[in-house]
Amino acid sequence: MTPSTTPDAPIMSVKDLEVAYRTGKGTNVRALRGVTFDLYPESALALVGESGCGKTTLGSALLRLLPTLGEITGGTITYRRADGRELDVTRMRAGELRRWRWSEAAMVFQGAQNAFNPVLTIGAQMADTLIDHSERRPSKKEILERSSEALRSVRLEPRRVLRSYPHELSGGMKQRTLIAMALLLRPRLLVLDEPTTALDILTQRTVIDLLAELRVEHRFAMIFISHDLALAAELADRVITMYAGKVIETGTTADIFYGPKHPYTSKLINAVPPVVGDLPELASIPGAPPSLATLPQGCTFAPRCELATDACRAAEPELIELVPRPEDRGHAAACLHHDQVHHERKVIARA
């Protein structure tokens, strides 16, 4: 309908984003180091990596929701509205930022269990959100209709959920309610930070299926943060692997899962069982991710990598474009020896 849905305009462009956490007097830890990517409308991007690689920091930084000690120290986050107007998220003033959040970009958090104010009903919290984002106060009927619609879209019964307090809902219901609340203002971008981590495996499945359906229905762009590669593969059409605060590989889901060109991505895939098919041998990655305070010289993965050479330890490699494609869908890896990475999985049991 609007010209913005043309594929050539990204909804969000992140360029050289740097985030640092204050750790003491005058000492900083660089949690994000020059993260760059474009997100196109209606696409789904997965951010994967081990704990502490900067996934959640990146997700929070996109909405400027970093904890008090965290700070965006460089780079830009450009958000393109439906009318084509561009906003620099890093420079927004408080009032503008407040109105932008949730109405344009919503976020579903890791800990949905505590995402709701315990002393207000779900209905009251839905109403809060609608009222604070409206020019004129919406009528009771309007609030009820819009909240009910959002809850129905996540398969919850509005009559029951709206008058419940958060503690009266189960974990899975809370997560779905939070997703419903995120859709309440019809945002064009949804950031999901480990949306299924605290849930049991069956509830996880429900939530993932739901998200896949909602994406088709509501046509929002999605950033899916997860350490669970299987879920990422299912929901996303593009994957970014992060390591020590840096993007080390980016590509389509097929690129990453069938032909990873960074040894870390390859090992990461081999460390988790696949959703379908034969059971391969699982292998853990030796060592631990480096401390962000004392990063090794050169490639940060070199100490854990069997392909590492002196050249790797000399300078940190930049992303090398391997397969160029439009719309930032190309395959790139930050590894000098990407041609030596041959991804294979040893099958130990047939499905």
Partner 1 sequence: MSTDVSSPHASPPATSAAPARRGSLLHRIANSFVLRRLVRSAFVIWVVATGVFLLVRLLPGNPVDVYINQQISLYGKTYDQAAAEAQVYFRFDPSASIFEQYGGYLLGLLRGDLGTSITTPGVTVTEKIAQYLPWTLYSVGLALIISISIGLLLGMIMAYRRGGIIDNLVTVIGSTFHAIPNYLLAILIVVVGAVQLGVIDYARMRGNISPGLEPELSLRFLSDIGYHATLPMLTYILTTAGTWALIMKSSTTQVLGEDYVTVAKARGLKDVRIQSDYVGRNALLPLIAQIATQAGFVVGGAIFVEQTFSYEGVGLLLFESINTRDYPTIQGVLLVVTITVVLANLAADLVNAALDPRIRLGAGGAA
Minimum CB–partner distance for residue 111 and partner 1 (Å)? 5
* Between 206 and 253, CB nearer to partner 1: 206
Minimum CB–partner distance for residue 170 and partner 1 (Å)? 6
| Alpha-carbon gap, residue 249 to 227, rounded angstroms | 15
Collect all residues with Cβ–Cβ distance below 8 Å to 250 and sequence separation of at least 6: 37, 238, 239, 240, 241, 319, 328, 330, 331, 332
At 283, list the tokens: 């292998």
Minimum CB–partner distance for residue 245 and partner 1 (Å)? 21
* Between 167 and 346, CB nearer to partner 1: 167
Minimum CB–partner distance for residue 54 and partner 1 (Å)? 18
> Within a 13 Å sphere around the CA of 350, how many CA atoms are in the beta-carbon half?
0
> Quick one: 200 exposed, middle or buried, by C-beta within 10 A (0-12, 13-18, 19+)?
exposed
Minimum CB–partner distance for residue 70 and partner 1 (Å)? 12
CB atoms within 10 A of CB 198: 16
* Between 44 and 169, CB nearer to partner 1: 169
At 33, list the tokens: 């180091």
DSSP state for residue 94 in the 8-state scheme: H
* Between 111 and 273, CB nearer to partner 1: 111
* Between 187 and 298, CB nearer to partner 1: 187
Return residues touching partner 1 (CB under 8 A). Answer: 63, 65, 98-103, 106-107, 109, 111, 113-120, 128-129, 132-133, 156-157, 160, 163-165, 167-168, 170, 172-173, 178, 181, 203
